[in-house]
Structure formats: structure tokens, C-alpha cells
Amino acid sequence: MRKIFAVPVVVLSLGLGLVAPAAAAPTRVIVLPGATSAEAITAAGGGTFYAADVLGGDIYRGDVRRGTAELFIDVPAGFQTVGMDLDARHGLLFVAGGPVFAGGQGKAYVYSTRTRALVASYDLGNPRTSLINDVTLTPDGAWFTDSLQPRLYFVPVIHGVPGPVRTLELSGPAAGPLGDFFINDITSTPSGRTLLVAPVTGQLCTINPVTGESAVVDKVDVAGADGLVLEGRRLWAVHFNNRITRWRLSDDLSRGWPDGEITDPNFAAPLAAAKFGNRLAVVNSHLDTGTSPTYEVVVVDA
């Protein structure tokens, strides 16, 4: 059984009935059929999610309510899907193309969820020195991370069509050394005016998408985190060591406070998550063991 906190149950028996905390919803494990690896996931409205096979690149569509998943886009050989986010308004899936195990490729892809076709591809960085690791959508377009370079890449969406890419050079604590793995996941505020990243330093950093200047969010420790989920001023960080930490952030995003931890025996080196109401859909990578007969999305209380 999944545990967040051990909370004592208080019983009132003065003829007023029984008062007890609400029971946690049971964990649900959704297998991605045929997947040989897994990392990326994004919410698509209602209970629908998209998740991906990292090395094979294939994209699955699933439903957290029904507990089902099926192959949705059979990606061509040689493509990978490391990070992913959805422009739901225009039905566009933006994919960070990695790869994670080979020197960098510098690629990004855009697929249509309406036709399942590849509608755009980008050479964002130098194939030998870049690793395009993750992506987040804002009202104006998609921001991609480069884990080996101190920069982000922005692909605008203009009248529903992905536009030309531009590069944002980073400064401050989010700008790591050239060639060293540094920034992993990225998320953004709903307005897109602030981006948040999790460098390997274990700090959470904000980035100004106009200037590239960054700053540390004080008192937040996300060491070992790969996935970030932001809702209002609440943050969930998915850690490789089978836990998810929760944080509350100040209105100006300058500092944070711990707000609990989520663990589950079904976690197996989780890397990313998407939020559905009061539930999180978490992707098992199984990178702690190197391989697994199945790869899953684990749905737990947030």
C-alpha cells in the first residue's frame, strides 16, 4: 500500500457518528504494451495522457480512469522521445529527441495528435555537443532544454503552426559548464513569463524567458529530481530514488517550503509525471535495474 504520512485516526463516539480522514485512492498501474523503455508523459485533458518509449520513440495514449494504454504513434526507426509536452489547443505534441545514451543529437519533433503524422522537425543543437532533454509548453510556444549547453530553444506556435526556432543563452545558476550534463527537466507558469528548471546541483531555478537570467528558488531541495509538475504555487518533483517531493512556493517564486513526500512500492526509478485532478500519473523508467519485462505508468494520490 502506498504511504504519504502515518496519520492517527480519531473516533468521536458521543452519538455524533464516526469522524476519520478520507481514505487514499488505490494505486493504479497501467502497462505501456510493447514498450522497451519509458520516460516522457503529458496530460491531454480529462483522464487522457500521452507517454513514450524513450529509445524506440513510440508514443502511447492512455486513460488514468480506465487504466488502459495503447500504441498511438508508431515512430520511425532512429527517432527517440526523451521529453514531451502537448499544445492541446492545436493538437500538437512537442518532443525532445535526445538521445540519452549517445553523445547528443540536437533534435526536436512535432507530431499531430489529430493525424498522428510528423508535422515538423528541428535541428536545435550541434549533434555532437547537444542533448535535447525536455520541453514545456507556454501560451506562445515550446521551450526545450539542452542538458549539455547553457541555453534553451524556443519554437513558437503561430496560428497553429510551429515556427522558426530561436536560442536563449542562459546566465546565472541555471547556466552550467559547456559539455557537462546540467539541466534536466523544465516547466513553466501558466502565463509563460517564468520558466523553472532542475539542474544537477539539486537547486530549483527560475529563468526569465526574455533575458535568460536565472535565480535560485531558496530553500527548495530537488536533488536527484528528473520530473517537475507545477500547479499554481505547488510543485511536485519526481526523484529517481522512488519518491516524489511536494513543495509550496512563494508568490514571487523566490523561495519554497516542503509539503510532504509520496512513495509507493510500485515506483521503479520514476522520471516524469503528469497531474490529473488530485492524482499523479508517474512513469517508471526501470533504469535502476537496466531492463524490465514491462514499463508502466503508476497513478497515485498527489
Say how many domains are in the chain: 1
User: 210 with 193: CB under 8 angstroms?
Assistant: no
What is the rounded CA–CA span in Å between residue 166 and residue 124?
A: 9
Provide the pLDDT for residue 99: 61
pLDDT averaged over the chain? 91
pLDDT in tens, 167-193: 999 999 999 999 999 998 999 999 999
Res. 105: pLDDT tops 80 = no
Instruction: Tell me if 191 is assigned to some domain.
Output: yes
| Residue 60, in any domain of the structure | yes
CATH number at residue 205: 2.130.10.10
Q: What is the distance between the terminal CA atoms of the chain, rounded to a whole angstrom?
A: 15
Residue 296 lies in a domain: yes
Residues 62 and 297: beta-carbon distance below 8 Å: yes
Give CA 177 to chain center in angstroms: 23
Q: Is the predicted pLDDT of residue 107 greater than 60, yes or no?
A: yes
Residue 202 domain flag: yes
Q: In this predicted model, what pLDDT tens digit does every residue of 240-284 receive, in sequence order?
A: 999 999 999 999 999 999 999 999 999 999 999 999 999 999 999
In the numeric block, which cell numbers belong to residue 283?
A: 512513469
Residues 6+ apart with CB under 8 A from 61: 44, 48, 49, 50, 69, 70, 72
Q: Say yes or no to pLDDT of 210 above 80.
A: yes
Residue 127 banded pLDDT, cuts 50, 70, 90: confident
Q: pTM higher than 0.75, yes or no? A: yes
What residue type is 138 in one-letter code?
Answer: T
> Does residue 190 sit within a domain?
yes
Is residue 102 a part of any domain in this protein?
yes
Answer positive or negative: Cα dihedral of 143, 99, 290, 28.
positive
CA neighbours closer than 13 Å in the CB half-sphere of residue 212: 14
pLDDT of residue 16: 36
In the chain, the percentage of residues whose pLDDT exceeds 90 is 84
7 assigned to some structural domain: no
Q: Which domain holds residue 56?
A: 28-301
CA distance 298 to 302: 12
pLDDT at 290: 85
Return the C-alpha torsion angle 184, 196, 281, 279, nearest 10: 160
Instruction: Name 22's Cβ contacts closer than 8 Å, sequence gap at least 6.
Output: none
Query: Cell 531558496 identifies what position?
Result: 218
For residues 108 and 98, what is the distance between their CA atoms, to the nearest angstrom?
8
Distances (CA, A) of 187 to 8, 94, 127: 36, 14, 24
Give me the DSSP letters along 101-166. SSS---EEEEEETTT--EEEEEE-S-TTT--EEEEEEETTEEEEEETTSSEEEEEEEETTEE---E
pLDDT digits (tens, 9 = 90+) for 10-59: 333 333 344 444 578 899 999 999 999 999 999 999 999 999 999 999 99
Cα within 13 Å of Cα(182), Cβ side? 20
Residue 208 reports pLDDT greater than 70:
yes
Q: Which residue has the cell 535565480?
A: 215
Does residue 65 lie in a domain region?
Answer: yes
